[in-house]
Amino acid sequence: MSEPLLSVQDVSKRFPVGKSLLGRPTGYVHAVNDVSFDVMPGETFSLVGESGCGKSTTSRLIDHLITPDEGRIFFDGDEVTALSERQMRPLRAKMQMVFQDPYGSLNPRMKVQDIIGEPLLVHTRMSAGERLKRVHELLGTVGLSPAHGERYPHEFSGGQRQRIGIARALSVQPKLIIADEPVSALDVSIQAQVLNLLRDLQERYDLTYLFISHDLSVVEMISDRIAVMYLGTIMEMAPNEELYARPCHPYTQALLSAVPVPDPKSKRRHVLIEGDLPSPMNPPTGCPFHTRCPHCTERCVKEFPKMREVSPGHKLRCHYDGLQLPA
């Protein structure tokens, strides 16, 4: 079995909030808590969960934009958490990002050909002519024409801008692309086009994706394995088909029951999550989900559950095996 391209091991991150008279923080936001997962070469691994659950913070920790308080992160054999910013710079050529906002992630004052060529300017020694040739190739790869390189971002639709963002990420031939909500700002029909493009590019260039989304219907289309996050903690992790066929955690079951089914005769039971999401400044004791869980017991309130394997490749952070929805 091959070694993982990316390995996240017991990573936690807190952000200080406010200041006392002595200049000390008055509290902490617990953004990521004891997160661990591996991403194998050539696969698409997805992180899903509600907004604010720690998905994007995890991606920034991986890319060394912020540093973890605890834990270690390895990428392509190097420990990212032990590298300085200068040492990290060449590694970023192997690890690129596609951002959520196709409107805000492109410099409005730069031509498209300069936006796509900028990583080549930073990470390679190509001449101006070589960079332009490479940019034209990339524009064709993502379904745009070389003539589009002379235009500015405001002249393109949202879907076209996201294609430009993908071309920029591909420019330095990365091994890993972190796609942070890459289709959430797009219309449904455009979402499908961008997802199909990402899958085609993965096959063509043998790419590995860390895909971040709150939309389980989108994740189902592109993922090999999925991890479900809640309040900074991974609650369940499984292969795509296994998770959708046999969700074990009550939170995963509730999320899946909310995914629309294109069948008016479907009688699938919807599971409602009661209560409000707890504040990450004051997370609950024990299981993070116990304040909203319909199956909560005294053990859930007191004891933080460990991640354990309930079937091959299927991991669960719950004290009880395979709780099933009532018929």
Check pLDDT > 60 for residue 312: yes
DSSP H helical segments within the chain, as ranges? 55-62, 85-91, 112-123, 128-141, 158-170, 188-205, 216-222, 240-245, 250-257, 298-302
Largest Cα separation within the chain, whole Å, is 67
Q: Average pLDDT of 112-134?
A: 94
Domain spanning 6-94+174-317, CATH class = alpha beta
Task: Please compute, for residue 60, the number of CA atoms within 13 A of its CA located in the half-sphere on the CB side.
Answer: 13
The pLDDT of residue 302 is 93
What is the mean predicted confidence (pLDDT) over 113-130? 94
Query: What average pLDDT does the segment 166-171 reach?
Result: 95
Return the residue matching tokens 């805000």. 104
**CA distance linking residue 196 with residue 74, whole number of Å:** 29
Residue 74 is predicted with a pLDDT of 96
**Average pLDDT estimate for 273-290:** 89
Residue 325, pLDDT score: 42
Provide mean pLDDT across the span 284-298: 92
Mean pLDDT along residues 96-103 = 88
Element (H, E) at 9: strand 6-17
268 vs 119, more confident? 119
Locate 4 and state its tokens. Answer: 């993982």
What pLDDT does 268 receive?
63
Q: What is the pLDDT of residues 179-220, one digit of tens each?
A: 999 988 788 888 889 999 999 999 999 999 999 998 888 899
- pLDDT (average), residues 38-44: 96
Q: What percent of the chain has pLDDT over 70?
A: 94
Q: Is the pLDDT of residue 239 over 80?
A: yes
Averaged confidence pLDDT in the chain: 90
d(CA 142, CA 185): 18
Query: What average pLDDT score do residues 38-61 get?
Result: 94
CA nearest to 92, candidates 192, 173, 13? 173
CA-only gyration radius of the chain, Å: 21
Q: Which residue has the higher pLDDT, 20 or 14?
A: 14
Q: For residue 178, give the H/E element and its range.
A: strand 176-180
What mean pLDDT is predicted for residues 87-95?
90
Q: Give 321's contacts (C-beta < 8 A, 6+ positions apart).
A: 248, 310
Burial class for 18, CB neighbours closer than 10 Å (0-12, 13-18, 19+): exposed
73 pLDDT exceeds 90? yes
Structure tokens belonging to residue 134? 């490479």
Per-domain boundaries in the chain: 6-94+174-317, 102-173
**pLDDT for residue 323:** 55
248-268 pLDDT, tens digit per residue, is: 999 998 888 877 666 666 666
Mean pLDDT of 298-312: 93
Q: Which of 57-61, 269-273, 309-313 has the lowest mean pLDDT?
A: 269-273
In this prediction, residues 150-172 reach a mean pLDDT of 94
Specify the pairing of strand 95-98 against strand 314-317.
unpaired
